[in-house]
Structure 1
């Protein structure tokens, strides 16, 4: 039988993998990650070579701290997928997830952040 007789699956034709297939369908991260949560590669993990290519890319990108939103854009995946990938990388000890201010403890800090963002947008 020739190769033309067996139709290829659409993913095989384009090389495209559905974003949530990367996470095995999981949508809930183990860490609380917001858009602005900063992630950096752990120095101890620099010699590690993770099995998952996305974890390798996250480690390479986060040699300098980047937000989860930036990681999602770099990987070209939805934010929810990036959250799961970053959470998995953190669980594997590959990256540090830096604490963000949330809830009542940071209401004033959130307001200051929003004012700085608004000011920056106005300058554009």
Structure 2
């Protein structure tokens, strides 16, 4: 019988190659992202592959962080790399956010 304590933990700095600053500036927790059409066939691994899979429909940085159970800073670095490589793009951002979107982001951040 295994428990969550038996699962090996990967340190956040291992996921980002030790980097703490994203290659793409301006990624806020509410930034909506979508995968490029050809991204699923790209040779991506681990968290990058999972982000592309999740971003087949728009996802916020906070949603991705919660889905991956990874710190926001780590997700921003990985997403920044994916944007730079052309696998993920930033969706058009509205000037104002709906109450439901704000509540969903709040709930996802709390889940962390």
TM-score range, shorter chain: 0.7 to 0.9
Equivalent-residue separation in structure 2 for 1:99 and 1:36 (angstroms): 12
Q: Which residue of 1 aligns with 2:47?
A: 54
Alpha-carbon shift at residue 92 of structure 1 (Å): 1.8
Q: Which residue of 2 aligns with 1:79?
A: 72
Q: Which residue of 2 aligns with 1:26?
A: 19
Question: Normalising by structure 2, what TM-score?
Answer: 0.74
CA contact (8 A) 2:58 2:91 kept: no
Alpha-carbon shift at residue 99 of structure 1 (Å): 5.0
Equivalent-residue separation in structure 2 for 1:85 and 1:99 (angstroms): 20
Judging by fraction of residues, say which structure has more helix.
1
Stretches of 4+ aligned residues off by more than 3 angstroms: none
Alpha-carbon shift at residue 94 of structure 1 (Å): 1.2
What are the ranges of 5 or more consecutive residues in structure 2 without an aligned counterpart?
A: 1-5, 104-112
CA RMSD of aligned residues (A): 2.2
The counterpart of 1:66, out of the listed 54, 59, 62, is 59
Question: Normalising by structure 1, what TM-score?
Answer: 0.67
Alpha-carbon shift at residue 48 of structure 1 (Å): 1.4
Pair 1:100–1:27, CA change in 2 (3 A): farther
Equivalent-residue separation in structure 2 for 1:47 and 1:99 (angstroms): 24
Equivalent-residue separation in structure 2 for 1:38 and 1:74 (angstroms): 14
- Equivalenced residue count is 96
CA contact (8 A) 1:37 1:99 kept: no
Greater Rg by CA = 1
